[in-house]
């Protein structure tokens, strides 16, 4: 069986891929994640997922490499990881009572295979008070998450609805699509 490598240092993606019970190694992809001028959020997520997989595959000949990226989108604009408490609070204020689309792409690069899939998740945020925003940020500290909310944790209390055909896509790795890509690369999670 070829080596499986996740081109990511994200603890969220590592936990999700671990659910498939395939041995894998996580490797930093070292890819510039700057959006190109006029690049749509969905295109950005796809480009970065593939770039991450290709960057790591170039260093590990013969491996099956997965790359993934997620971009939160509000009114057609990409919303990145907040990095700070203040930025996260501002993001949540902007998203309060609104729908945010999370574009999550996953790519596989292996000998003879380069493919990409994208999952779109529509999230409706409740109308959030300043007290709710502050309480949430103090509890979860989601400063490394696109859109400032961890749905797998207390962030679920910020939401009214989540619509997706791949339930783990919102956390950062769409496992239904990941399984399909792994099969294309010759790895069967149920083998």
Given a contact cutoff of 8 angstroms between Cβ atoms, the answer to whether 65 and 53 are in contact is yes
Contacts of 12 (CB under 8 A, 6+ apart): 145, 152, 171, 172, 173
| 165 is annotated as an active-site residue | no
d(C-alpha 150, C-alpha 79), whole Å: 15
Exactly one of 69, 140, 144, 165 is catalytic; which is it?
Answer: 69
Query: 92 and 148 in contact (C-beta within 8 Å)?
Result: yes
For residue 150, CA distances in Å to 25, 63, 92, 160 come to: 24, 31, 12, 14
Would you say 65 and 7 are in contact if contact means Cβ atoms under 8 Å apart?
yes
Residues identified as active-site: 69
């Amino acid at each position: 069986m070829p080596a499986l490598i996740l081109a990511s240092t994200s603890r969220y993606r590592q936990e999700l891929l671990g659910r498939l019970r395939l041995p894998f190694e996580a490797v930093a992809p070292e890819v510039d994640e700057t959006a190109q001028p006029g690049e749509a959020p969905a295109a950005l997520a796809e480009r970065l997922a593939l770039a991450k997989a290709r960057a790591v595959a170039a260093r590990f000949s013969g491996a099956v490499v997965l790359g993934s990226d997620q971009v939160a989108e509000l009114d057609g604009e990409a919303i990145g990881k907040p990095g700070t408490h203040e930025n996260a609070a501002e993001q949540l204020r902007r998203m309060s009572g609104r729908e945010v689309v999370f574009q999550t792409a996953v790519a596989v690069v292996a000998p003879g295979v380069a493919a990409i899939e994208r999952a779109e998740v529509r999230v409706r945020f409740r109308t959030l008070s300043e007290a709710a925003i502050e309480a949430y940020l103090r509890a979860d500290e989601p400063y490394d998450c696109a859109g400032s909310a961890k749905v797998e944790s207390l962030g679920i209390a910020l939401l009214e609805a989540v619509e997706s055909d791949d339930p783990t896509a919102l956390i950062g790795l769409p496992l239904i699509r990941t399984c399909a890509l792994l099969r294309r690369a010759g790895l069967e999670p149920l083998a």
